[in-house]
């Protein structure tokens, strides 16, 4: 499945696991996204504060320096980032974590291990909404 994405379609992937970030980058680039990687909460915070918002954010919860919950709150506090779709992609499966992420402003929550086709379908859902 290939998404119809434009040349300016970009994604911020915040993931500290090297293998997962490589897989996400591969999946997204194959579908036409320009991918920006942040390997920890500090890099993500810097990106959020210094760059225009991407088309979508894929965000882990458990990160060094600043967790995904804090990053969702931070990006939602930035006027330009308020409407950027955020998909939490994490191994945390407890209901309280899912509710917290959604309460902080995440649009979706996917538990690892994830299925690439399902992830792309969810990304497509948010890409279509923006069109």
Tens-digit pLDDT profile for residues 71-117: 999 999 999 999 999 999 999 999 999 999 999 999 999 999 999 99
pTM of the model: 0.90
Residue-by-residue DSSP string for 69-120: HHHHHHHHHSGGGTTS-EEEEES---HHHHHHHHHHT-SEEEESS--HHHHH
Q: What is the pLDDT of residue 128?
A: 59
* Contact predicate 110/89, CB 8 Å: yes
pLDDT of residue 57: 98
Predicted confidence band of residue 12 (pLDDT cuts 50, 70, 90): very high
Which residue from 130, 93, 107, 121 is spatially nearest to 8, judged by alpha carbons? 130
Cα radius of gyration rounded to whole Å, the chain: 13
Q: Which residue has the tokens 């920006």?
A: 36
What is the per-residue pLDDT for 8? Answer: 60
């Amino acid at each position: 499945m290939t998404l119809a994405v434009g040349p300016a379609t970009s994604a911020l992937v915040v993931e500290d696991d090297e293998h997962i970030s490589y897989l996400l980058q591969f999946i997204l680039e194959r579908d036409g996204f320009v991918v920006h990687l942040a390997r920890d909460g500090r890099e993500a915070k810097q990106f959020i504060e210094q760059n225009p918002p991407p088309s979508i954010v894929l965000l882990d919860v458990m990160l060094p320096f600043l967790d995904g919950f804090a990053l969702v709150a931070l990006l939602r506090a930035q006027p330009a980032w308020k409407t950027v779709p955020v998909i939490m992609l994490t191994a945390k499966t407890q209901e309280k974590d899912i509710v917290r992420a959604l309460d902080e402003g995440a649009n979706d929550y996917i538990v690892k291990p994830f299925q690439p086709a399902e992830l792309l379908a969810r990304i497509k859902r948010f890409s279509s909404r923006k069109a």
